[in-house]
Structure 1
Amino acid sequence: MKYFSVLSLIIFQIQLLRAQEIKYVLNNETTEIKFLSNNTAHILKYQGTHAPVKNDLIVLNIQDAGLKTSVKKTDTSLIIQSSVLMIELNKSNGIISFFDKNKNRLLAENKTEQQFQKIDDSVMHISQSFSLSSGEAVYGLGQHQNGKMSQRNQTILLKQRNMDIAVPFLQSTKGYGIYWNNYSATIYSDKQNVMNLTSEAGNCVDYYFIAGKNADEIIDNYRKLTGKAPMFPLWSFGYIQSRERYQSQEEVVDVVRKYRALKVPIDAVVQDWQYWGSDSHNWNSVQFDNPNYPNPAAMIDSVHAMNAKIMISVWPSFGEKSAIYKEMEQKHFLFDFPTFPVNNGVKVYDAFNPQARDVYWKYMNRNLFSKGIDGWWLDATEPEQQKTDNTHEPDTFNTSVIKNAITYFGNYKTYNNAFPFESVSGVYHNQRNTTSDKRVFILTRSAFAGQQRASSMVWSGDITASWQTLKDQIPAALNYSLSGMPYWNADIGGFFSGTNYPKGNKDLLYQELYLRWLQFGVFTAMMRSHGTNTPREIYQFGKPGDVAFDVIRKYIGLRYRLEPYIYSAAWAVTSQNASLMRALIMDYPQDKNVYDLGTEYLFGNSILVAPVTDSIFAKNASALDTVSTVTTKIYLPEGDWYSFNTNEKIAGGQWINQSSTLSQMPLFVKAGSIVPLANEAQYSSIQNFKTLEINVYPGKDATFELYEDEGDNYNYEKGKYSIIKFNWNDKNRTLTIDAGKGSFNGMPKHHFFKINVVELNKKKAVEYNNAEMVVQF
């Protein structure tokens, strides 16, 4: 009777609150279920009857005017449901089950032993287990180098480390996602159809359950919960050249100068570390202390004068001689655990402290941004946690390095994984507060849930150059994307080349690997060449007419031709919560052939990409050529497909063997697509969109929305952009170009479209003046 009385009171109160919430007490443990939208519910469990205090860093305050829920109680359960999702709480044991609107079970909790396990006075492990179905696949959890597409039957430590990115969000082929709202190191395990999430530190079980018809709907609701991704500047989708490291301002400028002289497109050059000098006691001083950079403003101006941009590396740690260290130390903003480079007095700043983030930006702004720096490379944002013997912590809980570290919010262990979110967000918000004339662009090595809202692009870390590593990057990228994070790239050629290829770019086998990696890079969010041991600039691979040089040149050019397609896809990421790199499960959820397929993907909605990850020349080759071939086994899902390279039409729903020379990459476009291509340009500009080749791949009706704006400011947030919509009617063989919507400063008054209907082999050229027009084929 005691529990019935409590339930009666709670239900009555819930009805006064539109029946959106249940609160249930059993054996001195409380469960709260609260709907935030028709798709999303918040689950909270804690000891006692008073909810613990928690600093919620990630989840936004959702106001869903369309939310309608109802509550029902039976003898055995409490049921709360929306138009999309039904949740049932078993009154006898507190276990929660989730169902779709047709009462098909999506997921159920298991009775969890040691759900709240006290370790010491400051740390309590938190656990929750769930029953999985034998046939479902699970994706997400950030980026991991395990080479797996589906994360079923795996044990994964979600802890920020170089090459491993912890994002505690997963989704299933059954039509649900879970955001595990805990910032400490967490172990995901799946054994015998029981999935368990155990976090190192916390005071409650806290997760969000998201129901969706498909992966896109799940990600859409996840981003509504954690934030939308802003637009990147247009230049960031061009070709980016980097190296560990350029050692003088003349060398930086000379890279762009050589690309321009060779007429090879480039948009940005990246300055890596030690522009502050080689003394680790002055580590990351966030200023040009190196005498090889006597006039950094002139260097930046010279790069800008060649219509290119410059990015620069900044770390979250500082040497004891630097001014930023001294100010941070005086204000007690530094942690006291060892970090790279160890034994040099280098310390990491407390990014959880808003005042510390302001100090960080003050030095970045005064010494770098005010001189014209265009983009940030925020390196080592895990941050690095190393022992004094220069070794890393083991891949477990109970890390001794950070044992006594205290953040602005409390025990470091409790907040460890959210460090990159806080540090990156601090830079994003401070730059936004400084100016709206330059979009924030942040390349970083680590990320946490919600970081997409801070203009964050991750790269996969300091990986080693090998064919296996290249293969592993594909499922790593796709799982990161399925974690709701839209922007990913990798060091083209692998960061460490010297381990397997000590001769570097003089080794033809490394050249082959590099070319295949660069081809893959065309179809990632950022095409960026970077690494140590050997330089990667195009002119390091020969001269025009040499095989390696010509293949690199071809694919850099292709990137620029694809820019209208890519930039429009980026607008879909911002405006519709879309995804750029799309595992095939996103578009073909009923096809079990793609459940564990991590070798190919869709780039945008139309282009199927199957990177070549095997060598042609591994045996008995004395030179590269573009005649020898390698065969790749590729799955084409249902529907018709066209070879991007030859326009050959191929039936889907089958595996094919595709032969490719070194200059060829297997690319396919699905029937019912429109793909715009620009003329090749030397650098990114919205003016390059003025003349486009509009390729229609018939077989189904198709639409495409071409997005244009000013390229590098936030006027698009004020409605300063345009959309031109193309509509292909397959039955009537007509392409309708709608009247343009919107305007912006510098918008082309006229467009020239060369329309190519691929299968019909018919082409027509039209001048478009922003008024609707119909083109008949």
Structure 2
Amino acid sequence: MSLPDHLRLATRPGAHADNIVHAGPARITVLTPALIRLEYSPDGAFEDRASQVALFRDTEPAAFDVRRTARPDGREALVLDTAALRLTYDGGPFATHGLSVQVKGGVSNYHSTWGYGQPPEGNLGGTARTLDMVDGECALEPGILSRYGVAVLDDSASLLLTDDGWVAAREPGRVDVYVFAHGRDYAGALRDFYALTGPTPVLPRFALGNWWSRFHRYSADEYEGLMDAFAAQRLPFSVAVVDMDWHRVDIDPALGSGWTGFSWNRELFPDPRAFLRHLRERGLRTTLNIHPADGIRAHEDRYTAAALALGRDPSTGEPIAFDAADPDFLHAYLQAVLHPMEAEGVDFWWLDWQQGPFSALPGLDPLWMLNHVHYLDSAREGARVGRPMTFSRYAGPGSHRYPIGFSGDTVVSWASLAFQPRFTATASNIGYGWWSHDIGGHLFGVKDDELATRWVQLGVFSPILRLHSTSDAFNSKEPWRFGREAARVMGDYLRLRHRLVPYLHTMNRRAHTHGQPLVRPIYHEHPWADGAYEVPNQFAFGTQLLVAPITAPTDLELGMAAVDVWLPEGRWYDLPTGLSYAAARGGRRIRMHRTLDDLPLLARRGTILPLAGASDDEAVSVENPTHLQVLVVAGTPEGGVGEFDLLEDRDDDAWVRTPLRFDGRSLVIGPCEAERSAESEVDSEGEPVDPFAAIPAVREWEVVVLGAANVTGASVAVGGRMRRGHVRPAGRDGVAVSVGPVEPGQRALVTLDGDMNPAGNDVPGRVFDLLDQAQIAFEDKRRAHAALTRPDDPRSGLLELGALNLPEPIRAALTEIVLAQ
């Protein structure tokens, strides 16, 4: 059994001989000082092939010491020390009393020792296969990070990858375990995990925009008309998802259920090629939903081709059963059935497998095999996506190699929304960074404008934003189907998602090269701060932002919803509201309150955030923009200089880097740096390749400084030519400076004049605004306002609030404003 060359993973599974220690029936491989592989084999034979999880064991020789001692029973005992751990092994079958690993580094001597067969303590969780029918929380599989410093990845049950690209079962009775003993070096644990399993691939740029999806019996005209309606409303989308009714579903029951199908419903889509072409002309990539479990049956358009590819007689009409354990079937399924449809214009497939983890080959999960071959097949020469990609459910550790993840059919409820931020962020603890949720929820529940709006806001700051709903005439996610205020806010955030694509694509590349997923729990960056573990729904969004989604309804008297936030030490600025916050050493817990328009989106002083387009109201595409707006948060950055390297390509790995540097007064843009040179590459006609082909030959730049106290002017220098810059107000407390056109090889410098100290919060004004909208007695408003607007110290008035008849949410929101800084 074998698969074509393009369906074979590149692996380097053999470990360096200097990293291997033999001890009777065990083999210990020191992959890094904190990552060891433990194998037990009763027959003394060990496995050097790659597995479904572990592809690369060829790490550099590691430093370690081994001491061997004789036991009274004649067996050899072993103690192995690295800089990160101590392993003790009694030389017998692996058992709790005879094999242990202790983490060094002061986490906890008691909790940080793991004995074989026992679950390590303090595991921070990983992810789950699906959120199908989940209403609230679900159990999570373990990850490779532990608050007590040791985590275990048991690879004993996974299949082996053979040289011909296929899989093979392991010999029974063997144990194959990886121990991650990184203490609280979470970044180091993830780096080692990716080094072992392979990195997260770079996604196609188009995947980072908005996706439209709905389980609905669309016709071609209706679908295209909807895309035109979105454009008319300035609602940008980059991916068109067509759910299962694109294919024939009303078939003879003798042929199957109708869920599996690979043939266009010509009544709804009379000219599929034209339909797909029209979507591409609108700037959309298209994916079709497929449920392949019932195989390929006689009514399918490509049945004859598939039967002939398998050497069968198509005249018999015998069904071709789905068989994930048959490489010949998989090859025919891809080549004879799916490739011709890709030639028509299908960009990638939404693989919807829900039939369980069993197949004809013991241990082979059909979902894993489908993810594996679909992803690799999308990387073949001539595939449409530019970069390989599939869209399917999670199939266990190592699934990060096959993005993007479809999390399943969530119930529409506040409980489901409240779980999704933690679910998404925690998945990074097993290296899984590209979840796509049904934003807004899939089924059941009630129509709730606020819930839908908050879910869209979360979607903007999720790895993938895909609006979706079930087959129900009343359940759909077009913003105009909600109330006026909800529709306005949804539209603003959908446009913001596309403006964020330059930042997202940079983080996309960083996830691949640095092993740092886009969405991460706060404790990844602050592992020793207790507060970082107490806000599981708060997360880092790339390198520049902290996000705390609102996942609870508005308090009717206050007119705001609340979320608990933990801020690391430093000065922070909330981009939507302009509120500034200060946190002392050890961090600070704050309950933040926001109207429907906003959620806490926090950035440090000196933060640099590139956005596509020139306006908040602009519906930009996901292509590399001709106009870039750079948001900079006023104040001197930590370390003296704020840095951001904008990374761009055209899904061809011809990357261009644009360095951005801010010292509190001046912002430097460029010059651009190419990762390939014209001297080293030529095109098909032998002409030098433009190393800056990924970006516009001339790009318009604008700098927006947020939270500046009193900027009086600016100077702009492009390519050494100085001029006065045009300065205009921007937002509540910002200024915008037009830089003008800049070529890739030029350096632009924007220097601000005036007081560059960050603006303080307008406490009296914000207190008045909050009380003005509050649905409480006028007398209570007047007394609270008088207490908190004393000219000497508004904080002293907080004591008086306790004596007033104020609801607790209003008292908490006023306290936030007064004490934020």
Fold match (TM-score > 0.5): yes
Pick from 170, 178, 189 the counterpart of residue 152 of structure 2. 178
Task: Please give the secondary structure, in 2, of the residue aligned with 1:139.
Answer: coil
Q: Deviations over 1:621-673 (max 9, x none)?
A: xxxxxx93223332223222111113322012222232222222222113342
Shift of 1:82: 4.4
Change over 3 Å in CA distance of 1:234–1:85 after alignment to 2: same
Indicate how the Cα distance of structure 1 residues 447 and 682 shifts in structure 2: closer, same or farther if over 3 A, else same.
farther
From 423, 428, 431, the equivalent of 2:378 is 431
1:301 aligns with 2:277: yes
Q: Which moved more, 1:480-489 or 1:245-254?
A: 245-254
- C-alpha distance in structure 1 between counterparts of 2:550 and 2:311, whole Å: 47
CA contact (8 A) 2:631 2:706 kept: no
Q: By how many angstroms is 1:287 displaced?
A: 2.5
C-alpha distance in 2 between matches for 1:272 and 1:211: 44
Does 1:264 find its partner at 2:235?
yes
Give the corresponding residue for 2:346: 373
Which of 218, 239, 245 is the matching residue for 1:247?
A: 218
2:796 matched residue in structure 1: none
Q: Which residue of 2 aligns with 1:203?
A: 173
Asked if structure 2 preserves the Cα contact closer than 8 Å seen for 1:694 and 1:753, the reply is no
Aligned to 1:49: 44
8 Å CA contact 1:243, 1:270 repeated in 2: yes
Q: Distance in 2 between matches of 1:141 and 1:707?
A: 29
Asked whether the 8 Å contact 1:477–1:489 carries over to 2, the reply is no
Kept in 1, the 8 Å contact 2:50–2:56? The answer is no
Question: Unpaired segments of 5 or more residues in structure 1?
Answer: 1-15, 112-127, 149-161, 186-199, 335-344, 386-398, 502-506, 621-626
**1:486 CA displacement:** 1.1
Does residue 357 in structure 1 map to residue 330 in structure 2? yes
Structure 1 residue 549 and structure 2 residue 487: aligned? yes
For residues 250-281 of structure 1, what are the alpha-carbon distances to aligned partners after superposition, in whole Å with 9 as ceiling and x for unaligned? 22212211111222212122110132212262
Out of 444, 448, 473, which is 2:392 matched to? 444
Number of the residue aligned with 2:595 = 661
Structure-2 separation of matches of 1:453 and 1:296: 31
Distance between the aligned counterparts of 1:436 and 1:724, measured in 2?
A: 30
Question: Equivalent residue of 1:452, what SS?
Answer: helix
1:500 is aligned to 445
Q: CA deviation at 1:355?
A: 2.7
Percent identical across equivalent pairs? 20
**1:492-512 CA deviation, whole Å, 9 max, x = no partner?**
11110xx322xxxxx4xx222
**Match among 648, 661, 667 for residue 735 of structure 1:** 667
Q: Confirm whether residue 406 of structure 1 aligns to residue 343 of structure 2.
A: no
Farther off after superposition, 33-42 or 222-231: 33-42
**1:226: how far off?**
1.0
Superposed displacement of residue 575, structure 1: 1.7
Residue 459 (structure 1) aligns with: 406
- Residue deviations 1:18-42 (CA, integer Å, cap 9, x gap): 54222223xxxx2221123344221
What displacement does 1:104 show? Answer: 7.7
Change in Cα spacing, 1:488 to 1:86, as seen in structure 2 (3 Å) is same
Residues 492 and 517, structure 1, Cα contact 8 Å, conserved in 2? yes
Q: Is the 8 A contact 2:667 2:751 kept in 1?
A: yes
**Partner residue of 2:166?**
none
2:263 pairs with 1:287: yes
Secondary structure at the aligned position of 2:597 is classed as: coil
How far apart in 1 are the matches of 2:35 and 2:269? Answer: 52
Separation of aligned partners in 1, 2:124 and 2:606: 29
Report the Cα distance in structure 2 between the residues aligned to 1:206 and 1:721, rounded to whole angstroms: 39
State the shift of 1:451 in Å. Answer: 2.3
Q: Distance in 1 between matches of 2:511 and 2:430?
A: 14
User: How far did residue 728 of structure 1 move?
Assistant: 2.8
Q: Which amino acid aligns with 1:477?
A: T
What does residue 118 of structure 2 align with?
129
Tell me the distance in 2 between the aligned counterparts of 1:597 and 1:672.
25
1:311: how far off? Answer: 1.4
* 1:80 is aligned to 2:75: no
SS at match of 2:476: coil
After the TM superposition, which residues 610-621 of structure 1 pair with which residues of structure 2 at under 5 Å, given as runs?
A: 610-616=548-554
Are the structure 2 counterparts of residues 102 and 47 from structure 1 closer, same or farther at C-alpha, using a change threshold of 3 Å? same
Aligned to 1:485, the other structure's residue is in SS state coil
Structure 1 letter corresponding to 2:592: Q
Q: For residue 494 of structure 1, give the secondary structure of its aligned residue in structure 2.
A: coil
How far the C-alpha of 1:296 sits from its partner, in A, is: 0.5
Q: Does the CA contact (< 8 Å) of 2:51 and 2:158 recur in 1? A: no
Distance 2:538 2:259 in 1: 41
CA shift at 1:765, angstroms? 3.5
- Do the aligned partners of 2:220 and 2:269 also contact (CA within 8 Å) in 1? yes
Alignment of 1:537-616 (within 5 A): 537-538=477-478, 540-541=480-481, 546-616=484-554
- The 3 A distance-change label for structure 1 pair 181 and 163 is farther
Q: How many residues align?
A: 650
Unaligned runs of 5+ in 2: 1-14, 72-76, 160-169, 313-317, 675-690, 712-734, 753-821
Q: Is 1:20–1:70's contact at 8 Å kept on the other side of the alignment?
A: no
Structure 1 or 2: more strand by fraction: 1
AA aligned to 2:649 is D
Structure 1: how far apart are the matches of 2:561 and 2:171?
50
In the alignment, residue 36 of structure 1 is paired with which amino acid? L
How has the CA–CA distance of structure 1 residues 163 and 289 changed in structure 2, closer, same or farther, with 3 Å as cutoff?
Answer: farther
Q: How far apart are 1:678 and its partner, in Å? A: 1.9
Pairwise mapping of residues 45-194 of structure 1 onto structure 2 (< 5 A)? 45-51=40-46, 56-65=51-60, 67-74=62-69, 77-91=77-91, 94-100=98-104, 107-110=112-115, 128-130=117-119, 132=121, 136-142=122-128, 169-183=143-157
Counterparts of 1:620-635 in structure 2, within 5 Å, are 628-635=559-566
Deviation per CA, 1:153-183: give whole Å up to 9, x if none: xxxxxxxxx9979866431123444322144
On the 8 A contact 1:349/1:356 being kept in 2, the answer is yes
Please show how residues 28-47 of structure 1 align to structure 2 within 5 Å: 30-47=25-42
CA RMSD in angstroms comes to 3.6
Counterparts of 1:329 and 1:100 in 2: how far apart (Å)?
60
Closer, same or farther in 2 for the Cα pair 1:673/1:737, shift >3 Å?
same
CA–CA separation in structure 2 for the residues paired with 1:286 and 1:611: 39
Deviation string, structure 1 residues 218-272 (Cα, Å, up to 9, x no partner): 1121111111122212111111111012432222212211111222212122110
CA distance in 2, matches of 1:592, 1:147: 33
SS in 2 for 1:317: helix
Q: Is the 8 A contact 1:144 1:165 kept in 2?
A: no
Matched residue, 1:188: none
Shift of 1:56: 2.0
Q: CA offsets, 1:345-398, max 9 Å, x none?
A: 999733344333222212453342111112321112xx424xxxxxxxxxxxxx
